[in-house]
Structure formats: structure tokens, C-alpha cells
Amino acid sequence: MSEKIKETIEAGRAILGIEFGSTRIKAVLIDEHNNPIAQGSHEWENQLVDGLWTYSLEAIWFGLQDCYRDLRENVKENYGVEITRLAAIGISAMMHGYLPFDKEGRQLAAFRTWRNTNTGEAAATLSELFEYNIPLRWSISHIYQAILNGEPHVKDIDFVTTLAGYIHWQLTGEKVIGIGDASGMIPVDPATKNYDSGMVEKFDHILKGNGLTWRLEDVLPKVLTAGQSAGTLSEEGAKRLDISGNLKGGTPLCPPEGDAGTGMVATNAVKQRTGNVSAGTSSFSMIVLEKELSKPYEMIDMVTTPDGSLVAMVHCNNCTSDLNAWVGLFREYTELMGVPIDMNEIFGRLYNNALTGDSDCGGLVAYNYFSGEPITGMTEGRPLFMRSASNRFNLANFMRANLNAAVACLKIGNDILFKEEKIKVDRITGHGGFFKTPGVGQRVLAAALNSPISVMETAGEGGAWGMALLAGYLVNNVNDRNLADYLEMEVFEGNTGSSITPTQEDVEGFERYIKNYLDALPTEKTAVEYVR
């Protein structure tokens, strides 16, 4: 098998997917049959600078280059060859945010990520103007907030893009974006597969009224759908990606996508009546709709699949960070006791023990808010654990309360879809770090959404694998299938993974937990006010 993989790499038939996550940049190399054959990664963290969450361009490029270097080393160690050519490349990253440039390509303001919640005035005004829910983190909210703030750089804007769009531009020279990522900049029209013309026109009136001479569509990247050509890797781009100089230019790239889109692809959830939940540092659910919702909802973002189908997205800023912090505390304790233990074992033991706790966590409540949480109206967050003296306080209930907290906001948003809009789904698939311990995250989420949850063996490959599949769709779709059929027939071949159906006890227990969670929410708001 390794000889066959070696030949695939040497012949330039391997396909590369790279995804910039919040805490890790990951590269996955796949063969022509969509199987992962090598990977690389780079750990990184955002920085809070002048009150805004950001990553510097230097950190972005160092991270990309280090991730690719790690991939090269993985390939050389396992197969003894160097990557010189690739069949296709795809770039993905966390969606939304704000990366503005002038006509010389100079960055005008620090990258403002999805995590920032300083755009409340802009988002509220645009939501009313467009008659459409415009979230705080969308690019259009950041653009308008910069205008409202009177920031002097706004007059010089020539190009605004997302992180994935920026990397793609630098590697190819093409100012383009995948439709899924585009739908997190400003709403797109599923009929035209382009930015909503009516909203663009309304925003141009805002620009004119503020004395700005540029038009919105002139500064946004061109929208492309899955399978369309998005340019080729330039020789300069190849050198920026692979600082060793071994990689050659000329490789075709597919449209750059957001992490929501790659999650849908990685879980085979681009067909209508399917959905997926990505749960890691942040979390979001994506339910592919058969029709428009009856009205706009502040908690629900309308985006699209990489091929342009309408998707209801519930996005939560916080998920596993507080869980990881608590597990880290237990690791410190075991080290203090002189007991060496693997982190995976700590996670496994604590998570599985949580399932032995009470279905309502014994009345314990936790808030995992490292940052603000729009779902519950929090512009800032403070991690918080609460109990009364009469609650059943033990380790199992404590861990279960924190596991529930990780998906509590997802439940609040999805209750609108399932209970109010009566949306029907045939399959929901989970992926991300929350599901790494087999069965536990699945069972918790199944109880939260009152729906069976599937996890595939490939889910651990995550968005970078999903991005590689989109790159493969560009060059290997010889049967000219639509994206949903391509994934169903040529990638997953009917595999829907292992499924867990919630028990009535777990569902009812989570309902009691979420009632306590909502009732005690004013305490979290007080913590934000007084805890510094």
C-alpha cells in the first residue's frame, strides 16, 4: 500500500486540503480515491489587541508554512518522497470577519475575526434595512461598523475578503471566494448564486451617504460554486506555501471555502434534509433546508452549502475551551499526585464517567463563555460554574454539566428550527473534538437536539479533509455529478457512520438542565459586569 501511495505522490496525483481553524491549522493530503494519506498541523492562538480578537499576517503565513512543513516531513517519514506536484489544492478557514486592503494590496486594518462582538450597532441596523438577520461576525457588519466608527482607512478600501479568500488570493492572484464563505460576508441569492443584489444596492446607498466613492460589489471577491475553477498556484505562491522550494506552481485550486462548508462536505451533509454539527473551540449546526424559513430569526444565520443550497446555521462562539481547561486542571492534579497519565485517557475517563451522572446533572449549571455569546445576548463572557447546597454535587454530574454547557447554546438555537419551524431532517452528523471520545459527545448532543446523531470514522479528519474533497471534486468528477451525488456515490458510498438515538430520560434531563441554564443566565451577566 505504501508503494502505491508513494507512486501517487511522485506522480503528482495527490490532493491537498488546508484549513485554518481557531487553534490549529491542519493540512490533509488525500489520494485519488479520497483516502487521507498524510497530514500536517500547526498550533496557534488568536490575540486580543486593542480590544479586538485578531491574528497577524505574520502569524498566518508562519502557521501556513509550518503546517505545510509538517506535512512534508510526514510524507518523507512515511513514504520517503518529496512533494513536488499536486493534482489540486483547496484552502479553507474560519468564516466571516474583516480583512481590508487598499489598491496596492496593503492591509488597512488588523484582521478582525468571527469572535469579535463589537459590531452590534451595525448588525442591528443592517438587519432592519435588509429585513434579514445579519450576525455580528459577518463581514458586512464589520465593514459598516468601521464606517460608523469613522475609521479613516475605510475610504481607501479596494478589496475586502475572508481569511480563506486572502490566502487563496496570495497563492493564485485570484480575488474569488466559494459561495458558502461568501454567504458569511453578505447574504447570497440561492437563485443567482451571487450576492443578493437588492441588499448590495441598499448598502451602496449607505456608502454614498457617507461620502465613500467605492461600490460594495467592486470590493468583494467574485463568488464561485463547488467544481468551478478558481485559478492555479503561481510560482510565487508555491514558494510562499513551501519555503523549501520543492513544490512547483501550476496546480489548480478550487474555490476557497469557510469551515462551515468543509464541515458539511466532511460529514456528507450537503443534501437537503441533512445536517451536521461541528463542535470544537466554537460550534455550529448546519441544517440544509427544503425551503425558506417563515421569518428571520436573530439566532439563525442563513448561509449556503458549497454548491449554493440554503442552510440554516446556528453558530455559537464557545464550545470546548472551558471543558479543556477543566480537564487540564485534573491533569495537574494527577501530576501533583505523581501519577503519569495520557491526556486521551483523562478525557476518556472523565467523559465516560459523566454519562453515569444524573440526566439533569443534579441541578448543576455551567457557562462556558470564554467570549461573548450572541445566542444568549452576551457581548462578553466569563466561564462560570454554579450550584446550590442542595444540588447533587459529584464528579459525574460536574463533568456532565460542563458537557451539556458545551452544546447548550446549540440547543437554544435549534429548538427554533425543530420546535417552531417544524424542520425535518433525515440525518445529523457530528464532527470535531467534542466527539473524539467515542459515544459521549454523540449522546449529549442527541439529548440536546432530541435527534439521532451519527459520527463517521472519517469525522476526525475534519474540515481539512472536507476541503481536500472539494479540491478533488474540481479535478476528479469525471461523471459530472452534482456535489451531493458525488459525495454520496464516490466518497462515502452509502456510509452514514455509527448513530446514537437519545433516550427519553436523557432528553427530559437536558430539558431540565436548559431551564436551569436559562433561569440562571442573569448570574452570568452579573459576572461579566463584576469579574475582571
DSSP per residue, 304-320: E-TT--EEEEEEES-SS
What average pLDDT does the segment 68-84 reach? 97
Structural domain contains residue 445? yes
Q: What is the CATH number of the domain that holds 40?
A: 3.30.420.40
DSSP per residue, 326-389: HHHHHHHHHHHTT----HHHHHHHHHHHHTTS-TTGGG-EEE--SS-BGGGTBSS---EEE--T
pLDDT by residue (tens digit) across 333-387? Answer: 999 999 988 999 999 999 999 999 999 999 999 999 999 998 999 989 999 999 9
What average pLDDT does the segment 274-293 reach? 91
DSSP per residue, 473-499: HHHH-TT---HHHHIIIIIITT---EE
Q: Which of 205, 237, 257 is the last residue of a domain?
A: 257
Q: 69: buried, middle or exposed (CB in 10 Å: 19+, 13-18, 0-12)? A: middle
Please give the pLDDT value at position 493.
Answer: 86
What average pLDDT does the segment 80-109 reach? 97
Closest Cα partner for 66 from 42, 93, 89? Answer: 42
Paired strand residues for 224: 178
427: pLDDT strictly greater than 80: yes
1: pLDDT strictly greater than 80: no
**Integer CA distances (angstroms), 436 to 290, 345, 440, in order:** 31, 12, 8
Please give the pLDDT value at position 160.
Answer: 98
Domain span including residue 408: 269-455+502-532
- 336 and 233 within one domain: no
Structural domain contains residue 440? yes
- 313 and 207 within one domain: no
494: pLDDT strictly greater than 80: no
**Which residue in this structure is represented by grid cell 505504501?**
2
pLDDT tier, 30 (very low <50, low <70, confident <90, very high otherwise): very high
Q: Where are the alpha helices (DSSP H) in 210-274?
A: 216-219, 235-241, 259-266
- 275 and 205 within one domain: no
pLDDT tier, 461 (very low <50, low <70, confident <90, very high otherwise): low
Structural domain contains residue 485? no
Provide the CA 272 distance to its chain's centre, in angstroms.
20
- 233 and 108 within one domain: yes
Q: Are strands 194-195 and 36-43 parallel, antiparallel or unpaired?
A: unpaired
Calpha distance 124→115 (Å, rounded): 17
Q: Which of 226, 257, 288 is the last residue of a domain?
A: 257
Please give the pLDDT value at position 4.
Answer: 94
Structural domain contains residue 469? no
| Stated pTM of the model | 0.84
Which percentage of the chain shows pLDDT scores above 70? 99
- 310 and 245 within one domain: no
Q: Where are the alpha helices (DSSP H) in 47-91?
A: 57-79
Q: Is 203 helix (H, G, I), strand (E, B) or coil?
A: helix
- 357 and 221 within one domain: no
Paired strand residues for 19: 26, 92
* H helix count then E strand count, the chain: 18, 22
Contact 452, 499 (CB under 8 A): yes
- 316 and 251 within one domain: no
What nine digits make up the cell of 160?
Answer: 475586502
- 293 and 215 within one domain: no
What average pLDDT does the segment 97-126 reach? 96
- 275 and 244 within one domain: no
Calpha distance 414→297 (Å, rounded): 11
**Integer CA distances (angstroms), 287 to 260, 277, 341, 435, 468, in order:** 11, 9, 39, 19, 22
pLDDT by residue (tens digit) across 238-280? Answer: 999 999 999 999 999 999 999 989 989 998 999 999 999 988 8
pLDDT tier, 459 (very low <50, low <70, confident <90, very high otherwise): low
Structural domain contains residue 488? no
pLDDT tier, 117 (very low <50, low <70, confident <90, very high otherwise): confident
Calpha distance 80→433 (Å, rounded): 31
Nearest-10 crossing angle of helices 57-79, 2-10: 130
Structural domain contains residue 462? no
- 83 and 117 within one domain: yes
Handedness of CA 166, 96, 461, 263 (dihedral sign): negative
What nine digits make up the cell of 157?
Answer: 478600501
- 123 and 43 within one domain: yes
- 357 and 240 within one domain: no
Contact 18, 170 (CB under 8 A): no
Q: Which of 236, 257, 278 is the last residue of a domain?
A: 257
pLDDT tier, 458 (very low <50, low <70, confident <90, very high otherwise): low
Structural domain contains residue 467? no
Please give the pLDDT value at position 504.
Answer: 98
173: pLDDT strictly greater than 70: yes
Please give the pLDDT value at position 2.
Answer: 86
Please give the pLDDT value at position 460.
Answer: 54
Q: Give me the torsion for CA of 242, 244, 248, 250, rounded to 10°.
A: 20
Domains: count for the chain:
2
Provide the CA 19 distance to its chain's centre, in angstroms.
9
Structural domain contains residue 320? yes
